[in-house]
Amino acid sequence: MNKVGLVGGISWVSTMDYYRFINEGVNAKLGGLNFAECIIYSLNFGDIQAVSWENSFELLLNACQSLKKNGVDSIVLCANTAHLFADKLQETINLPIIHIGAETAKAINKCGFKKVGLLGTKFTMEMDFYREKLEEFGLEVLTPKKQETRDYIQQTVKEELGVGFVNPETKKKYISIVNELVEDGAECIILGCTEIPLLISQDDFTIPIFDTTKIHSQAIVEYIVSKN
């Protein structure tokens, strides 16, 4: 099987989900006592916060280079926002990166949706890197219109979900935000931050929800077993 290198710790809470989903998926494919051959480089999220995401390339590159030295066949960035540097990292380390945005767009295209609502960190919602990746696959992307709403999502992802705290009042607010996106014309919703599925899921909505953590993990599983 292919060996993957996971750049995790961003945050550790969602990295645990990645590890579980990937190993469960490989075992479902291969059976017996077969699980994923993988290496996790768990970053200190505090280091990224100290320099901000925009200045985190060297931290991510160091993690990727360490994984490459240990013989991985590809790299996984276990956070949507980290894909800000996905293309540059892939070019620098000369290893494939399984892109969370591309895999999510493929899943949405299979379902025939064109107009998507995106929830994520401020960087994911406001910068071009994620939107442009989705647009490459013919999708129209909607994000919360109000700055205060995007700020609220950023704050709760960082201060609550990033440390594993699930607040019922925050959940109610997120459901309200999703409903506003639906009113604006969203046909489905992307949970474009790997912590947001800790708070809301398909069970909370009738509109289709695309959980990027699960979609990404499934793509990783397919890659791992493709060499079996």
Q: The domain 101-211 is classified under which CATH number: 3.40.630.190, 3.20.20.150, 3.90.79.10, 3.40.50.1860? A: 3.40.50.1860
- Give Cα separations from 227 to 30, 32, 41, 76, 167 (angstroms): 12, 17, 23, 17, 42
CATH topology of domain 4-99+215-225: Rossmann fold (3.40.50)
pLDDT in single tens digits along all 228 residues of the chain: 999 999 999 889 889 999 999 999 999 999 999 999 999 999 999 999 899 999 999 999 999 999 999 999 999 999 999 999 999 999 999 999 999 999 999 999 999 999 999 999 999 999 999 999 999 999 999 999 999 999 999 999 989 998 889 999 999 999 999 999 999 999 999 999 988 999 999 999 999 999 999 999 999 999 999 975
54, containing H or E segment: none
The Cα–Cα gap between 28 and 32 comes to 9
Structure tokens at 225: 């077993």
Q: Max alpha carbon distance in the chain (Å)?
A: 50
Q: Tell me the pTM.
A: 0.92
Give the per-residue pLDDT at 13. Answer: 87
The Cα–Cα gap between 145 and 227 comes to 44
Output the DSSP codes for 149-172.
Answer: HHHHHHHHHHHTGGGT---HHHHH
Residue type for position 18: Y
Q: Is 127 helix (H, G, I), strand (E, B) or coil?
A: coil
Q: Is 203 helix (H, G, I), strand (E, B) or coil?
A: helix
Structure tokens at 165: 């705290």
Query: What residues does each domain of the chain span?
Result: 4-99+215-225, 101-211
Structure tokens at 119: 């929830």
